[in-house]
């Protein structure tokens, strides 16, 4: 690690707090960098602006490819901007590589937002584990808030456990569904419907309007059946058309009702729990990475995993041996 040449350029924090888009873009580039000196600068920057964060509505949006996430965000974002909001859009897609991931390719579907000074769109950080991508997105969210964006949307295309990662960093997780229901759900992973705070059937227009109404009613009764009722909030199923805009303002209204329902204390509680979970996932990720990269562990691991999967050795014994290779002796548990 280089000598502590740490503190962020003062201009960057100032620019960020002044809401300069270039400062925000540079801050996120710093946050996304894997260079140790950049990480230190990023941390110093975040520490400095932290008191000016937390004042946005943090929304997660997910749904299968083609459901209309980009189109929805374009229409929804335009409506919010018209009401005076500033909207930032970030993406989580651990599969995205140098191409810049899905959002960049989707910028054509978010042309209005992409051009608007009151909006800020940033593709997923490229590469890395979900844990790494999630951390950088969380930190970028703070940077957006420091720059005065009061609605931050985190979009995910649903790779690996990314929906859970997104739900764990936002105030409200919105799931977009197709009007056709049932079979179309094949792309949605187990448990995702159950973490949604709000379900919206998109493409409720033209030929599909009727199917969308039916699907929404069916989803609503299915959710009533399968979702535990929390005191504060019963997950509603809405319909909208990202294409025509019908129903889109109602989504924002429902988000308002949700915020009222859980209240300031509920929100503070959710965010405190998320921050604590984030702390532990950072710790956990680092410990596991160190373990995996330890030379003796790295050498023994493939054979150990194979033997465990073939049932030739108990996982307990294999774990103990690998931990010994890492330098950790067994102790009374």
Ligand X SMILES: Nc1nc2c(ncn2[C@@H]2O[C@H](COP(=O)(O)OP(=O)(O)O)[C@@H](O)[C@H]2O)c(=O)[nH]1
- Under rule CB under 5 A, which residues in 89-148 are in contact with Mg ion? 106
> Cα–Cα distance between 138 and 31 in angstroms, integer?
10
Nearest to 64 by CA among 160, 148, 156, 164: 156
- Whether the Cβ atoms of residue 331 and residue 324 lie closer than 8 Å to each other: no
CB of 16 to ligand X, least distance (A): 29
Letters for 158-187 (x = contact with a copy of itself by CB under 8 A, - = none) are -----------------------xxx-xxx
> Cα–Cα distance between 206 and 208 in angstroms, integer?
5
> Cα–Cα distance between 186 and 3 in angstroms, integer?
52
The tokens for 100 are: 């810049």
Rg over alpha carbons for the chain, rounded to the nearest Å, is 22
Query: Quick one: 261 or 308, whose CB is closer to a copy of itself?
Result: 308
> Cα–Cα distance between 204 and 246 in angstroms, integer?
8
Residue 183 neighbours by CB distance under 10 Å: 8
Residue 62 interacts with ligand X (CB under 6 A): yes or no: no
Letters for 22-61 (x = contact with ligand X by CB under 6 A, - = none) are ----------------------------------------
Residue 298 interacts with a copy of itself (CB under 8 A): yes or no: no
For Mg ion, the binding residues in 54-93 under the rule CB under 5 A are: 69-70
**Of positions 34, 83, 99, 108, contacts a copy of itself by CB under 8 A:** 34
Q: What angle do CA 302, 303, 308 make, to 5 degrees?
A: 100
Could you tell me which residues come within 8 angstroms of residue 214 by beta carbon, excluding any fewer than 6 positions away? 179, 181
Query: Quick one: 69 or 118, whose CB is closer to ligand X?
Result: 69
For ligand X, the binding residues in 202-221 under the rule CB under 6 A are: 202-203, 205
CB under 5 to 8 A by kind: which of a copy of itself, ligand X, Mg ion, none does 202 bind? ligand X
- Whether the Cβ atoms of residue 176 and residue 60 lie closer than 8 Å to each other: no
For ligand X, the binding residues in 119-178 under the rule CB under 6 A are: none
The tokens for 159 are: 């790779």
Residue 241 interacts with ligand X (CB under 6 A): yes or no: yes
Residue 13 interacts with a copy of itself (CB under 8 A): yes or no: no
CB under 5 to 8 A by kind: which of Mg ion, ligand X, a copy of itself, none does 183 bind? a copy of itself
Q: Which range of residues in 15-23, 153-161, 192-200, 250-258 is near a copy of itself by CB under 8 A?
A: 192-200
Residue 242 interacts with ligand X (CB under 6 A): yes or no: yes
**Of positions 150, 278, 294, 300, contacts a copy of itself by CB under 8 A:** 278
CB under 5 to 8 A by kind: which of a copy of itself, Mg ion, ligand X, none does 233 bind? none
- Whether the Cβ atoms of residue 80 and residue 151 lie closer than 8 Å to each other: yes
> Cα–Cα distance between 311 and 45 in angstroms, integer?
50
CB of 86 to a copy of itself, least distance (A): 21
């Amino acid at each position: 690690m280089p000598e502590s040449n740490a503190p962020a350029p003062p201009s960057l924090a100032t620019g960020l707090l002044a809401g300069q888009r270039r400062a925000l873009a540079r801050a996120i580039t710093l946050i996304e960098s894997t260079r140790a000196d950049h990480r230190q600068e990023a941390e110093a920057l975040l520490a400095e602006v932290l008191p000016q964060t937390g004042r946005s509505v943090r929304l997660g949006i997910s749904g299968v490819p083609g459901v209309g996430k980009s189109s929805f965000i374009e229409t929804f974002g335009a409506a919010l901007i018209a009401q005076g909001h500033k909207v930032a859009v970030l993406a989580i897609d651990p599969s995205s590589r140098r191409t810049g991931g899905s959002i960049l390719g989707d910028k054509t579907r978010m042309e209005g937002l992409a051009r608007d000074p009151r909006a800020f769109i940033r593709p997923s950080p490229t590469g890395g584990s979900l844990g790494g991508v999630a951390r950088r997105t969380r930190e970028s969210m703070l940077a957006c808030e420091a720059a005065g964006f009061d609605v931050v949307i985190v979009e995910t295309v649903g790779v690996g456990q990314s929906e859970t990662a997104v739900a764990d960093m936002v105030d409200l997780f919105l799931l977009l569904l197709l009007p056709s229901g049932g079979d179309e759900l094949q792309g949605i992973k187990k448990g995702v419907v159950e973490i949604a705070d709000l379900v919206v059937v998109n493409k409720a227009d033209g030929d599909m309007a009727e199917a969308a109404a039916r699907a929404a009613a069916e989803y609503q009764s299915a959710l009533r059946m399968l979702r535990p009722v929390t005191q504060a909030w019963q997950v509603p199923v809405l319909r909208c058309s990202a294409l025509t805009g019908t129903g889109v303002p109602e989504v924002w209204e429902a988000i308002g009702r949700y915020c009222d329902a859980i209240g300031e204390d509920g929100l503070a509680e959710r965010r405190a729990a998320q921050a604590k979970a984030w702390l532990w996932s950072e710790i956990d990720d680092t410990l596991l990475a160190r373990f995996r990269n330890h030379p003796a562990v790295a050498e023994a691991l493939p054979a150990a995993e194979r033997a465990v999967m073939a049932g030739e050795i108990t996982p307990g014994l294999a774990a103990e041996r690998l931990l010994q290779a890492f330098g950790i002796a067994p102790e009374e548990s």
